[in-house]
Amino acid sequence: MDQEEKKYYAVIGYPVGHSLSPAMQNAAFEECGLNGEYTAIEVAPENVGAFAAKARTSLAGFNITVPHKNAIIPFLDEVEFLASLQGSVNTVINRNGSLYGTSTDGYGLEAALKESFSFEIKNNSVTFIGCGGVVKALAFHFASCGVKRIFLLNRTLSTAQTLCDALRKEFPAVECACAPLADEETAEDFFQESSLAVQCTSLGLKKDDPPPVMPELLPKDILFFDTIYKKTPLLQYAEANHIQSANGLGMLLHQGAKSFSLWTGKEAPVEAMRKALYEAFYKANQ
Ligand SMILES: NC(=O)c1ccc[n+]([C@@H]2O[C@H](COP(=O)([O-])OP(=O)(O)OC[C@H]3O[C@@H](n4cnc5c(N)ncnc54)[C@H](OP(=O)(O)O)[C@@H]3O)[C@@H](O)[C@H]2O)c1
């Protein structure tokens, strides 16, 4: 352990007690011999500004999770261009009292897809199921990486339409189309034209949640990634039907590894982080 002054880091959310990030980040500090400590701090929505003010003098960096990824933005001094387009910040770096925000969610999914499927975003077509905060971050990242087409399926069509319009404005070369989840015919067409489907609704977090779309609409040759860590109905279907698939733990790992590198300037010890993350996950879900 080096003798430098201890640096403090955190993840904020509401609630946040379930977060697996402390186990993963503290393992990284230990593996690199850094004097750092990472904790989970529950911050109510009305306290986000007060938290940011205090963080200027008390934290070297922090992560932001649901529901504060957008709400934190007005309290930062600078936000990376793509993150400001996404309206989503999950990583803040404290630069001598000045708070700089960025997002590592897109990188996290990109790295997880490479690892699980050897998938490259460039020139491929993808369907996102859901259109909440995480899809905004992911879709802009995919567009910046040269994705060919983005299809959005969402319960509330207007949300997907707004994102489609924003993507077309910033990335005119990327084709974008959207439809309501309930439109099974169009959903099937989107899947047929995609090499990857990414499940991004919150359905599947609770035990008896139904799938957001009829699982049988997934073609056998599609790659399926579920951003949720648990076995959702869609993930169960994909596994049972030999559709190449992965859950959201890889995305969590790689977004966290990127945050660690941004804070410390060091290469993240990914394998030590993965081991700690999986141990914490299985402990929490025994
Ligand atoms: N693996 C990772 O590292 C990682 C990172 C971030 C997020 N995630 C996961 O991504 C998921 C979404 O996160 P988010 O931040 O985007 O959440 P969010 O902003 O709250 O969006 C929720 C999404 O789920 C849809 N939805 C909710 N209830 C539904 C229902 N009953 N039927 C159909 N659709 C429904 C919403 O549709 P409407 O627009 O119609 O309301 C919206 O598209 C979460 O489950 C989270 O676990 C994973």
Tell me the domains of the chain and their CATH numbers.
Answer: 7-103+250-284 (3.40.50.10860), 106-247 (3.40.50.720)
Give the closest residue (by CA) to ligand 1 atom 18. Answer: 132
Q: What is the pTM of this model?
A: 0.97
List per-residue pLDDT tens for the chain, 286 residues long.
Answer: 446 899 999 999 999 999 999 999 999 999 999 999 999 999 999 999 999 999 999 999 999 999 999 999 999 999 999 999 999 999 999 999 999 999 999 999 999 999 999 999 999 999 999 999 999 999 999 999 999 999 999 999 999 999 999 999 999 999 999 999 999 999 999 999 999 999 999 999 898 999 999 999 999 999 999 999 999 999 999 999 999 999 999 999 999 999 999 999 999 999 999 999 999 999 998 7
Residues annotated as catalytic (active site), given as ranges: 69
**Ligand 1 geometric centre to CA of 29 (Å):** 31
**Ligand 1 geometric centre to CA of 201 (Å):** 3
CB 121 within 8 A of CB 195: no
Write down the pLDDT at residue 207. Answer: 87
Write down the pLDDT at residue 3. Answer: 64
CB 126 within 8 A of CB 196: yes
CB 28 within 8 A of CB 268: yes
Give the closest residue (by CA) to ligand 1 atom 6. Answer: 134
CB 102 within 8 A of CB 62: no
Ligand 1 atom closest to the CA of 136, numbered from 1: 16
Give the closest residue (by CA) to ligand 1 atom 37. Answer: 155
